[in-house]
């Protein structure tokens, strides 16, 4: 990882203080020319009652990584990114360990963006396939 990538990840991780991302333990771990990856620990804190990862926690992870990716890759200083729609197809379960969410752009418009987010376990097995629509709004 180069110095620029490390700087981007440091900035991303600093923005999680006192947010849902911090509560869920989300950490941004990798960034490339067209993707951003975050991790989230799977512990009882993010389980549903039967002891597997809760779909809502998965959706929160996906929206977090997709929204931050939109902000990074639009490279605009005076905008806010807001999620407008998220879908999540949960295809696998996980009880413990880390999940990895990687966001890649399907469409990067100036106003609206569409992100594909794959959530996998440590072995690369697909847990959830998500789509996130975002909108870029001017800061007030």
pTM: 0.95
Report the catalytic residues: 63
Q: Output the tens digit of pLDDT for each of the chain's 140 residues.
A: 899 999 999 999 999 999 999 999 999 999 999 999 999 999 999 999 999 999 999 999 999 999 999 999 987 778 999 999 999 999 999 999 999 999 999 999 989 999 999 999 999 999 999 999 999 999 88
Quick: pLDDT tens for 4-23.
999 999 999 999 999 999 99
| Residues 102, 113: Cα–Cα separation, whole Å | 16
Give the pairing type, strands 79-90 and 112-120.
unpaired
* Distance, C-alpha 20 to centroid of its chain: 12
Closest residue by Cα to residue 32 from 11, 6, 60: 6
Closest residue by Cα to residue 42 from 29, 55, 28: 55
Quick: pLDDT tens for 59-80.
999 999 999 999 999 877 789 9
Instruction: Write down all domains in the chain, each with its CATH number in brackets.
Output: 3-138 (3.10.129.10)
| Residues 1, 73: Cα–Cα separation, whole Å | 18
């Amino acid at each position: 990882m180069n110095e620029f990538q490390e700087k981007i990840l440091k900035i991303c991780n600093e923005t999680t203080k006192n947010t849902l991302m911090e509560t869920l333990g989300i950490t941004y771990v990798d960034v490339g020319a067209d993707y951003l990856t975050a991790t989230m620990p799977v512990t009882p804190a993010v389980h549903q009652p039967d002891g597997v990862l809760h779909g809502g926690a998965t959706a929160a992870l996906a929206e977090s990584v997709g929204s931050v990716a939109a902000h990074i890759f639009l490279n605009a200083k005076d905008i806010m990114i807001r999620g407008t729609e998220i879908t999540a197809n949960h295809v696998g379960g996980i009880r413990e360990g880390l999940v990895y969410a990687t966001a890649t752009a399907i469409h990067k418009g100036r106003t609206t963006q569409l992100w594909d987010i794959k959530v996998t376990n440590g072995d690369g097995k697909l847990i959830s396939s998500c789509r996130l629509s975002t909108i870029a709004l001017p800061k007030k």
